[in-house]
């Protein structure tokens, strides 16, 4: 029998919404401030998954310019009804512990790859919206925030009817579930089975106290009774389990093979307890008790690394190439930009065919337009490298290879300019917003010629190297603590993961460009990293 190896979606793929349409399985996950918004993965067997599309690919659907880190897309929900795909999502404009601007929208499409519609605004009651469809009617659910003094900030799960033809909500708003003593009730998903309505919510917060709670009712609008056995899934009392943070779940039926539950998880680095791969997605097998409650096994209520797969024909996908030569007119699917799409004034793949041309824009601290493209770190050990041509003329010109969590936490190996050294290589870091240049002095390099920049990461250790194309690479700088690129280290309220990519800055306004010939990302064991 085939085996599901968890996590199935590695590296910053949280808040999974799983859906089956015919023989196809899809999972939508959160993307926060990274653009395009929402990742949708595809599988035919629940074992092998591929990144298929990101539906929110234009500013009219998602404009995140100026968003703070970890705002943007929270917990999308993907459903299908009567030949139409529905995607509901939150665009968090402002995030504070008390007050949040959480704008909720819905888009639709005839196929999973689009075209996806312009968004319909729903409400801003709270975040984590979802849709439930039954007998031609449609219901929007979300959690409710309450900023008033002395109130429960997570004030329950709201439900209201939605009219797709009229693009509006209608009728009363029902608060169908106030949650359990675990608190922080969010992430609602609603299902119907054997005459029961099952409400699955996340509770306990998305860190080590996370949990999946199930409640049920005989009527759609409640009242909903929580499972008296407690959380259906959690790692809050199992600190040695390899999959921590287990919570925020949705379920799907695999005909002939039972039910499966997709959930968020994290894998801490043992030495530091930090999850540099961010919050990921895993699958667990589900059974139902005689009295109709959901159970996650084989150890009830705990997340397993290996799970029996459904009885479906194996359907692997081609592996992503190690090297990207930028020969196509569009960015590879693995890459995203920060907050907004990059137009021809910041990025071009056609001005010099075979090269990614990045035109220097705002600083690495900007929350508006950065000429930066990056991909997720999806393994604890990896190598990445790039070869670029760049002719800086001013100390405010820079381009290179960056490892980052967000604009406040990063390691940047860059080519720049110094009035005495000429073209040079140096390292810039930001540690919770504190800027540093760790090298005693930048390293002078020839004023012309292609240059290779590389990085090796092994769990919590990160080492840069550099050199001329075709020549040996020389380590540069210290072995840095890569674990600062994690939710646990970053300031309170961060929810993404580590990325590696390419960027270019020009604070003179002249759009000095860098041409990147290739980029490599390879997941390998690193030998000899100090």
Label residue 138 exposed, middle or buried (CB < 10 Å: 0-12, 13-18, 19+): middle
Query: Are the C-beta atoms of 147 and 131 separated by less than 8 Å?
Result: no
E runs forming strands in 98-224: 100-109, 120-123, 130-134, 137-145, 154-163, 168-177, 186-193, 196-203, 211-217
Measure CA 125 to chain center. Answer: 23
Vertex 254 angle, CA 310 and 188, to 5°: 120
Query: Are the C-beta atoms of 526 and 458 separated by less than 8 Å?
Result: yes
pLDDT value, residue 507? 97
Read off the tokens for 164. 């797709």
Q: What is the pLDDT of residues 237-254, one digit of tens each?
A: 999 999 999 999 999 999
Say which residue the tokens 């504070």 belong to.
Answer: 96
- pLDDT band of residue 529 (cuts 50, 70, 90) is low
Distance CA 373, CA 353 (A): 18
Residues with Cβ < 8 Å from 318, sequence gap 6 or more?
Answer: none
Query: Are the C-beta atoms of 381 and 523 separated by less than 8 Å?
Result: yes
Vertex 340 angle, CA 338 and 341, to 5°: 105
Q: Residue 349: pLDDT above 50?
A: yes
- pLDDT band of residue 530 (cuts 50, 70, 90) is very low
- Of 45, 91, 186, 389, which is the active-site residue? 186
Under DSSP, the state recorded for 365 is T
Distance CA 284, CA 302 (A): 9
C-alpha distances in angstroms, 300 versus 110, 152, 212? 39, 30, 12
| Residue 482 dihedral angles phi and psi, to the nearest 5° | -70, -15
Q: What is the pLDDT of residues 436-469, one digit of tens each?
A: 999 999 999 999 999 999 999 999 999 999 999 9
Distance CA 36, CA 57 (A): 5
Shortest CA distance to 7 belongs to which of 378, 419, 369, 361? 378
Domain ranges of the chain: 3-308, 323-522
Q: Is 161 a catalytic residue?
A: no
Given strand 39-43, what is the order of strands in its sheet? 17-21, 24-29, 39-43, 50-53
Shortest CA distance to 139 belongs to which of 53, 197, 58? 197
Distance CA 32, CA 303 (A): 25
Distance CA 248, CA 122 (A): 22
Q: Is 15 a catalytic residue?
A: yes
Q: Residue 528: pLDDT above 60?
A: no
Q: What is the pLDDT of residues 193-202, one digit of tens each?
A: 999 999 999 9
Question: C-alpha dihedral over 7, 13, 14, 15, to 10 degrees?
Answer: -100
Distance CA 412, CA 414 (A): 6
**Region for 369 from its dihedrals, namely left if φ exceeds 0, alpha if ψ lies in -120 to 50, beta otherwise:** beta
Query: Are the C-beta atoms of 341 and 36 separated by less than 8 Å?
Result: yes
Say which residue the tokens 């009363």 belong to.
Answer: 172
Shortest CA distance to 91 belongs to which of 75, 79, 106, 73? 73
Q: How far apart, in Å, do the first and last CA atoms of the chain sit?
A: 41
Given strand 294-296, what is the order of strands in its sheet? 244-254, 258-266, 279-288, 294-296
Query: Are the C-beta atoms of 248 and 264 separated by less than 8 Å?
Result: yes
Distance CA 431, CA 407 (A): 10
Say which residue the tokens 């693009």 belong to.
Answer: 167
| Average pLDDT of the residues in 56-80 | 97
- What number of residues does the chain have? 530
Q: What is the pLDDT of residues 409-443, one digit of tens each?
A: 999 999 999 999 999 999 999 999 999 999 999 99
pLDDT value, residue 271? 85
pLDDT value, residue 526? 66
- Of 15, 91, 460, 487, which is the active-site residue? 15
Q: What is the pLDDT of residues 499-521, one digit of tens each?
A: 999 999 999 999 999 999 999 99
Under DSSP, the state recorded for 255 is T
Q: What is the pLDDT of residues 260-287, one digit of tens each?
A: 999 999 999 988 899 999 999 999 999 9
Read off the tokens for 346. 């910041």
| Average pLDDT of the residues in 289-316 | 96
| Residue 284 dihedral angles phi and psi, to the nearest 5° | -130, 155
Query: Are the C-beta atoms of 468 and 257 separated by less than 8 Å?
Result: no
pLDDT value, residue 297? 87
Shortest CA distance to 37 belongs to which of 46, 28, 45, 27? 28
Q: Which CATH number fits domain 323-522: 1.10.286.10, 2.60.40.1930, 3.10.20.30, 2.60.120.200?
A: 2.60.120.200
CATH entry 2.115.10.20 includes domain 3-308: yes
Query: Are the C-beta atoms of 409 and 379 separated by less than 8 Å?
Result: no
| Residue 483 dihedral angles phi and psi, to the nearest 5° | -75, -10
Q: Residue 1: pLDDT above 90?
A: no
Vertex 234 angle, CA 233 and 240, to 5°: 130
Mean pLDDT taken over the chain:
96
Q: What is the pLDDT of residues 110-134, one digit of tens each?
A: 999 999 999 999 999 999 999 999 9
- CB crowding 250-277: b at 16 or more within 10 Å, else e: bbbebeeeebbbbbbbbbbbeebebbbb
How crowded is the C-beta side of 111, counted as CA atoms within 13 Å?
Answer: 5
Provide the whole-model pTM: 0.97
pLDDT value, residue 368? 97
Distance CA 183, CA 162 (A): 27
- pLDDT band of residue 525 (cuts 50, 70, 90) is confident
């Amino acid at each position: 029998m085939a085996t599901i190896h968890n996590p199935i979606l590695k590296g910053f793929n949280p808040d999974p919404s799983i859906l089956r349409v015919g023989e196809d399985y899809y999972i939508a996950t959160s993307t926060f401030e990274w653009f395009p918004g929402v990742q949708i993965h595809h599988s035919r067997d629940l074992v092998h998954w591929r990144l298929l599309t990101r539906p929110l690919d234009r500013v009219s659907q998602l404009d995140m310019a100026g968003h703070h880190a970890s705002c943007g897309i929270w917990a999308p929900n993907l459903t299908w009804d009567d030949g139409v795909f529905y995607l509901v999502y939150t665009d968090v404009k402002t995030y504070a512990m008390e007050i949040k601007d959480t704008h909720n929208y819905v888009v639709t499409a005839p196929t999973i790859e689009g075209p996806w519609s312009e968004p319909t605004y729903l409400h801003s009651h709270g975040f984590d919206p979802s849709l439930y469809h039954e007998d031609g009617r449609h219901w929007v659910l979300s959690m409710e925030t309450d900023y008033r003094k002395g109130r429960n900030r997570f004030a329950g799960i709201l439900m209201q009817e939605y009219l797709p033809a009229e693009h509006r909500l209608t009728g009363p708003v029902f608060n169908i579930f106030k949650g359990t003593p675990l608190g922080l009730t969010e992430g609602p998903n609603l299902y119907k089975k054997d005459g029961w309505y099952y409400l699955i919510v996340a509770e306990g917060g998305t860190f080590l106290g996370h949990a999946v709670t199930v409640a049920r009712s005989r009527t759609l609008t409640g009242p909903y009774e929580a499972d008296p056995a407690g959380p259906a899934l959690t790692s809050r009392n199992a600190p040695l389990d390899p999959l921590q943070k287990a919570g925020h779940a949705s379920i799907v039926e695999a005909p002939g093979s039972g039910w499966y539950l997709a959930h968020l998880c994290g894998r801490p680095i043992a030495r530091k307890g930090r999850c540099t791969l961010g919050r990921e997605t895993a699958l667990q097998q589900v059974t139902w008790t005689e009295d109709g409650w959901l159970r996650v096994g084989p150890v009830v209520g705990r997340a397993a690394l290996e799970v029996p797969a459904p009885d479906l024909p194996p359907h692997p996908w081609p592996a992503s190439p190690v090297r990207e030569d930028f020969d196509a007119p569009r960015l590879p699917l693995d890459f995203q930009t920060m907050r907004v799409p990059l137009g021809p004034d910041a990025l071009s793949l056609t001005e010099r065919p075979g090269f990614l041309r990045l035109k220097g824009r705002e600083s690495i601290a900007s929350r508006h337009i950065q000429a930066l493209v990056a991909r997720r770190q999806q393994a604890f050990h990896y190598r990445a490298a790039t070869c670029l041509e760049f002719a800086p003329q001013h100390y405010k010109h820079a381009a290179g290879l960056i490892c980052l969590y967000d604009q406040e936490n990063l390691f940047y190996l860059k080519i720049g300019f110094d009035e005495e050294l000429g073209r040079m290589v140096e390292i810039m870091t930001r540690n919770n917003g504190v800027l540093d240049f760790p090298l005693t002095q930048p390293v002078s390099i020839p004023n012309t010629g292609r240059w290779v920049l590389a990085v090796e990461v092994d769990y919590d250790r990160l080492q840069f190297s550099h050199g001329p194309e075709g020549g040996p690479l020389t380590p540069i700088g210290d072995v840095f603590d890569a674990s600062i690129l994690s939710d646990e280290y970053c300031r309170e309220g961060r929810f993404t993961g580590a990325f590696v990519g390419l960027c270019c800055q020009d604070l003179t306004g002249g759009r000095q460009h860098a041409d990147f010939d290739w980029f490599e990302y390879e997941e390998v064991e690193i030998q000899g990293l100090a």
